[in-house]
Each structure stands twice: as structure tokens, then as C-alpha cells.
Chains A and B, each alone.
Chain A
Amino acid sequence: MKRVIFALPLFLFLALVVLFMVGLEHDPRLIPSPFIGKPAPPLSLPRLIKDDQMLSRDDLIGEVMLVNFWATWCPTCKGEHAVLMEIADTNEVAIYGIDYKDDQIAATAWLERLGNPYRAVGFDKEGNAAIDWGVYGTPETFVLDKDGIIRYKHVGAISWQDWKETLEPLVKQLQEE
């Protein structure tokens, strides 16, 4: 009895060490989306370029796609944009964009200058769509399956490596489902 009691602090501490070892491998700033496995939230935005038309959730159903939140004021998005262009060139997956809290003229000019990887871009001036989708910063990218169910969320810029190692295999798998 006595032996156990005095060793108790040691056991508690060992448990703590194990915990920290696991904890070191986790990035405390990555927050998983609660939407994984759920239908994409409602969406109703004017389009960035043809702003008399709307982009709604119905547009996001029917094929596997990436939905990318971006903005011109976000330097990281600029780096990501080049990767998105390459992905678009592969023609493997449709990319939809949501331009977050941006200036419409600047955003249009950006796409003209750097190229447009997006099938269509929703213009989220007030940031309401971003809140509905649980986005907390740009860039963030959702992977939707054919039924419009969110299957994955990538936080931060997508690198070519991310595409090759994570996103492309997932997209292929979803396309075969």
C-alpha cells in the first residue's frame, strides 16, 4: 500500500510525459472543421466577375471540387495562386473560389493579371459566407464530393507537395466513389 502511494506522483508524472510527447507532434493552432462529413453550408453570393449572377450551394453539387477562400490583401494567397493555376491546368478537379472581404476591382484585376484558376468566384464582401463556413483566415480550402459533402479542409496555402501528397489522391478517390 505504502509503496504504491509514494510512487503515485511518479506515475502521474509519467502519464504527463507521454502526453507531452504526443502533444509535441500536434500543431496547437490547427483547428479541425466540424463540417467534415456534413453538407456544405448554405451559400448565396454574387459572382465576382459576372456580378448579376449568383453563386449558390446548388452550383457546388454534382462533381468533386475544391472551394478556396482567398483575398488580394493576403500575401500568402499570392503564393498559393500559382499552385492553384498549376492544379487548374491539370484539369483534374474543378476549383471554385470565394473572395473574402475584398475590393471587387482589385480582385478582378488580380485574376486578369495572374490568371484565373476558378470555375467561378463568389464575392463575399461582408465575410458572411466565411463565417457560415467556419473559416477563420485565408487561404483555406475545402474538398467537396459529388454530393456536396465536405470531406476535407486544408488550412493555409496549398503547396504543390500538398496537392500531390494529400489533395490529388483524395480527389481521385472521391471521383471514383
Chain B
Amino acid sequence: MTPEIGHFALVMALCLALIQAILPLWGSERGSLSLMAVARPAAYGQFVFLTISYLALTWAFVNHDFSVLYVANNSNSALPLMYLISGVWGSHEGSMLLWVFIMGGWTMMVALFSHSLPETTVARVLSVLGMLSVGLILFILFTSNPFERLIPAAVDGADLNPLLQDPGMAFHPPVLYMGYVGLSVPFAFAIAALIGGRLDSAWARWSRPWTITAWMFLTLGITLGSWWAYYELGWGGWWFWDPVENASFMPWLTGTALIHSLAVTEKRGLFRGWTVLLAIIAFSLSLLGTFLVRSGVLTSVHAFATDPTRGLFILAFLGIVIGGSLILYAWRMQTLRAVGEFKPLSRETLLLLNNVLLVTAAASILIGTIYPLIIDALGKGKISVGPPYFNSIFIPLMIPLFLLVGIGPLVRWREESAGKLWRDTHNILIAFIIVFAASAFLLMRSASITVLIGLFAAIWMVVFSLGYLGKRLSNRRGLAAFKGVSASVYGMVIAHIGLAVTVIGVTFSSAYSLDHDIRMGPGDEKELAGFVFRFESISQREGPNYVANVALFRVMKEGKTLVTMTPEKRIYNVRRNMMTEAAIDTKLTRDLYISLGNPPEEGDKWAVRLYYKPFISWIWGGGVIMALGGLLSVLDRRYRVAARKRAGMKTAHNVKSISVNPA
């Protein structure tokens, strides 16, 4: 019965989404307050039904209802509770439901936190979000219904893909989806602004906190995914330029560009046409990511559901959403009058350059990802575009960007003179030179050109960010100085430092990693980077739904035991496939990583990979710091104060904007 309730709730959600998509928009065109007032209740109702639907599927998982096809395919009675809950998004149908559920959540948040906005804007934004929901729910109902029954019911389930039976993977998709879907909010704001024909700094100000929030989740999601790949796939890599990774990275890059360009539009009213296009592109790339993964157009490590009919549906959906927005864009932009001036040396010019670099990077990744498809479609054969291509394009683009990250915030809005800039920054430059020279000297023995470049970029970003913060703080004295600086300034500085931390991690771990790839049995020892790895013993352990061979390693340095590590090789009972559980010992400046190969066919010598990876955890640490920076920015009281102020004038504003906008 529960699955039917879930299915029914989904249909109800569809109805409410339809209402939410149509009535408020109609109302905003006719200037009818009562029609526009439908938007919020519809959004709340939609979310309630989506929650019911989502919980119904979770219920089916938790209660081992193997009469539901999706549950039978992706669960098992021996599965621990945590994976029963995360199993909901363990495959295609459920992850689409999660997607829509999250979409409903964002919609509700917009409905809740938009009381300071003009009713017409709210109506249009919620209507656009409603349209997106309609498309996605239809997609689920027609091509990927997770509530489909299996008659007769299976005795037991085929188990969740063991790759996904891991805490990191359990949380990766929801967080990433929060980011993907969150980009629909700035998208909806952009479309609403285009419909209303008003692109102004108010629009940019409303979009900004939403964009930053979505970006924050996207950052965390990508970080989690990379970390998961690192410890779960078992060969120590953390980024593969895989199509699915690229699919999450492109929205991140354009989202980052959007955050910066929104700043210009808000502060100076410039680049409005560009900013609105970026908002469309960032969300389009999220959708495109879904398309690339779900349709089977690109085969990928992660693509666990591929099906051309679904692909065709998504393609149609993409065509309507993206094509429609771009038509609206092309049409509305005709009447946009460029306002404002800007000078060669100014914050806004540098931010525009930042946008060019980020968008070029995103475009290159898009081209690299679909190029094999182009060649194939033209019947010119099959080619591969892999990490060597992406690295050689991406890295040169990032280096000037890193320089901008450091210097940009110190450059004044409107107009900067070289002389003033020099006066403002020469102390920081000297500090940078000292720090860089000292660290380069410390690393002299082993520094290669790439290490020096990475180090240069990271130190540059840190020293200049701190220098900038110092300047802001020096306006006042004592504690008041810290309070005098807004949260968004701290947020920016922290996010930029986070980027530097990631750069350090990437640079050092790729330059100084060491590994051994050998056969070892109990009693064997192997030295790596000054650590002695001693294979003590091997034993069997029974988990809830797997049997594991557990190796015990003692790691010693200078004769003293540092740590014992237990890499595992698991065989999951149902699917009978083997999984590597690497053992990782993380310290601030290095990881030790051991993973086991297949059990030996004869004898007791296991294939073992030993890795020493300096600073690798900084890669993800930097990601978390960046996300924290985003969080701080969103908490800036500017957004709240402005919100409260405007809430007071709300009624007056409404009437005004309606009368101004009869079209």
C-alpha cells in the first residue's frame, strides 16, 4: 500500500506543481494579486507531497518491501539501516526522486524567505521553479517510476551496489544534488527578471545569497565525491576527469563565475546581460550533467543508469528549458540598454577577466567531454579525450586566475590608478616575496618547476588575502575593527584561502607521492618514504552483509610503531563482488594508504599497494574551507537587514511594481 501512497503523492505533487507553474505567472501578467498568492501555498503543498512520496520509498526500503521493483534491485534484507536509507538514491529512479524532492525543498525555501520581494517577482520565480518540477516529475512518472511493483515479489533483494555501501557515498549525492538543484534558484530569478523585463541591482542582490548557498553545497558535494573516489576506488587517485566528474565541475566553475559577476551587477549595475546569461548557463550545465550521466551518451565510471528512452525525454526537457530560456534571453536582450562606464584598471574589469578564465575553463571541459561524441556523430571514428588533455588545458588557465584571486580584492571599484595600487599593496608584495623565498628555500632540495608554480600561486593567494583583510581591519581599532568588517568579506577571504589550501594539496601530493606495488605475505616488510610497513597477519571477519579478509599492517618509523592499519578485501554476499577497503592513516601533512589486491591463488603473498601521499588531505580540506567561506558570506547581515527593511515597504512596492509592469 505504501508504494501506492508514494506514487499517488507524486501525482498530487505534479498537480500542485502545474498550478504553481501556471496560475502565479498568469496572475503576474494580469496584475492579479489573488492569482499570484497561489504560488506560496502551492509550493508548500508540493513539498509536503514530495516529502510523503520520498518517505514512502524510504519506508519500502527500511521495511524490505521487495514487491517494489526498485527496492528489490537495490536493497537486501541484510543491508544495514544506514544503507537502507541511502539506498533510496542508490540507483537511477530513486536518485531522480531525491532530485525532485530537493527541488521541492529549495522551492519551499524560496517561498519562505522571499517575503521582502515584490509579489510579482515571487510569483514569477516560483512559477519557473514549478515548471521545472513539472518536467522532472513527469520524467519520473513516465520513464523512471521507483514505485513500480514486482509481481510476484522477490524473496530477497539483489543488494545495493557495494561501491555505494560506504558513508562517504551515502552523503555525496544529496549534497551534490543540493548544489545542482540549488542553481535552479538563481536560474529562476534570472528568468523571472527576463520575463518582467527588469534587470537591476536589486535582482542581483536577491540572487546572490541563493547562488552562494547552492555553490557551497556544490563545493561540498564535489569535495565529498573526490574524497570518496580516493579511498573507495582503491588506487589512490582523487580526480579522473571522468565525464560525471566533469558534469559536476562545469556548473561549479560557471557558478563561481556567477557569484563574482553578480557582485559586479549588484555593486555597479554592470554586465547585466552577461550575468543573467551565466545564471542560465550554470543551471543548464547542471541539467546537462544529468543528461550526460543518465542517457548513456557518454559511458563513464559512474554511470549506473543508462537508457536511450530516458535520454530522449531528458533531451526534450533540456531543449524546452534551456532552449526556451535562451530564446527569452535573445528576445529580451534586444531592448537592454548598456549602462555605466568602466575603466581598464578597476575591480570590475578584473572580475570580468576572472569570468573569462572560469568560463573558458568550463567551455574547455565541455568541449573535451563531448568531443569524442562529435567525432563519432560525424562518423570519423572514436577518439578518447582524457586527463592529459584536461590537465594541459586547465592548469594554464588557472594560474592567471590564482593571481587575480590575490590581487583582485585590493583593486578599487570604478577606477584604480597604478600609483595608488602600488601604495596599497607594496607591503603585501614584500611580505609575499619573503614568505615565498623562505618556503622555496626550505624545499630547495626537491622543488621542481611545477612545485614552485603551485607554491607561488598558493602563497600569493594567502598573503594577499590576509593583506586585504588587514587593510579592512585597519580602518578601526581594537575589537571594533573585527566587528566592522562584514561577514561577506570574511567569507571571501576564507574561500580564497581555501582555494590556496587545495592548490597546496594538489601540488605537493602530485609532486611528492611515493608508492610501491608489490607482493607481500605475513612477516614481510617494506620501506617507503622512511616508514616501514610490516605485514603482520591476515584474518577473516564477518560483516553484516559481507565477508572480509583483513590484513594487519604495523607501520614503524625509526623502530617505533606509529600506527596499525587494516586494509580489507571484502566479498559481498549477494552480488559476490569484491571490494577494496583501503586503510588510510591521515596526518596533517601526509596520508599513508594501503590497499589489497585479490586474494592470492596460491601461497600467502598478497598483491599490495603502499602509498605515501604528502598533503593530500589538504585538497579536500581546502574544499571544506571554501564552503565555509560561502556559508559566512550568506550569513552576512546585509542580506537580512535589507530583507527586513524592504519587508516594511512591501505593500507599497507591490502596487508600484504591478502598475509599472502591465505587460
**Chain A residues close to B by CB (< 8 Å):** 2-3, 6-7, 9-10, 13-14, 16-17, 19-26, 28-29, 31-32
Contact = CB atoms under 8 A, between A and B. Distances in A.
A17 B311 contact: no
B297 A23 contact: yes
B326 A19 contact: no
Contacts of B659: none
Interface string B435-478: 00000000000000000000000000000000000000000000
A13 B325 CA distance: 11
A28 B299 contact: yes
B329 A9 contact: yes
A10 B382 contact: no
Contacts of A7: 326, 330
Interface stretch (B371-379, B413-421, B620-628): B371-379
Given A24-B295, A28-B297, A2 B334 contact: yes
A13 B382 contact: no
Contacts of A29: 299
Chain B interface bracket (under 10, 10 to 19, 20 to 34, 35 or more): 20 to 34
A31 B298 CA distance: 13
B interface SS class? helix
Interface stretch (B137-145, B224-232, B312-320): B312-320
A25 B309 CA distance: 11
A24 B319 CA distance: 15
Given A19-B373, A19-B377, A24 B308 contact: yes
Given A20-B291, A24-B312, A6 B374 contact: no
Contacts, number: 70
A129 to B, nearest CB: 23
Contact of A24 (B297, B322, B330, B382): B297
A26 B291 CA distance: 15
A19 to B, nearest CB: 6
B327 A10 contact: yes
Contact of B376 (A2, A9, A23): A23
B315 A20 contact: yes
B315 A21 contact: yes
B296 interface: yes
Nearest to A22: B377
A38 to B, nearest CB: 14
A2, A24, A26, most chain B CB atoms within 10 A = A24
Contacts of B308: 24-25
B319 A17 contact: yes
B280, B370, B374, B377, most chain A CB atoms within 10 A = B377
Nearest to A4: B330
Given A9-B326, A13-B326, A24-B297, A19 B334 contact: no
A17 to B, nearest CB: 6
A25 B379 CA distance: 12
Interface string B275-303: 00100110010000001000111110000
A81 B661 CA distance: 73
A2 B318 CA distance: 26
B529 interface: no
B283 to A, nearest CB: 13
A interface SS class? helix
A25 B327 CA distance: 27
A6 B326 CA distance: 9
10 contacts: A6-B273, A6-B329, A9-B280, A17-B323, A19-B374, A20-B315, A24-B311, A24-B315, A28-B296, A28-B299
Interface of B: 273, 277, 280-281, 284, 291, 295-299, 308, 311-312, 315, 318-319, 322-323, 326-327, 329-330, 333-334, 370, 372-374, 376-377, 381-382
A6 B273 CA distance: 9
Nearest to A26: B376
9 nearest A-B residue pairs (beta carbon): A6-B333, A10-B326, A22-B377, A7-B330, A28-B299, A23-B297, A6-B330, A23-B373, A9-B326
A17 B333 contact: no
B291 A13 contact: no
Nearest to A3: B334
A112 to B, nearest CB: 27
Nearest to B311: A24
A28 B293 CA distance: 13
Contact of B334 (A6, A9, A28): A6
A2 B382 CA distance: 38
Contacts of B298: 28
B323 A14 contact: yes
B323 A13 contact: yes
B201 to A, nearest CB: 21
Contacts of A32: 381-382
Contacts of B318: 17
Nearest to A14: B323
A24 B298 CA distance: 9
Given A14-B323, A17-B318, A20-B297, A28 B376 contact: yes
Contact of A10 (B330, B370, B376): B330
Contacts of B330: 3, 6-7, 9-10
Nearest to B291: A20
B382 to A, nearest CB: 5
B299 to A, nearest CB: 5
A9 to B, nearest CB: 5
Contacts of A24: 295-297, 308, 311-312, 315
A3 B373 CA distance: 30
A6 B373 CA distance: 27
Nearest to A27: B296
Contacts of B322: 13
A8 to B, nearest CB: 8
A126 B284 CA distance: 49
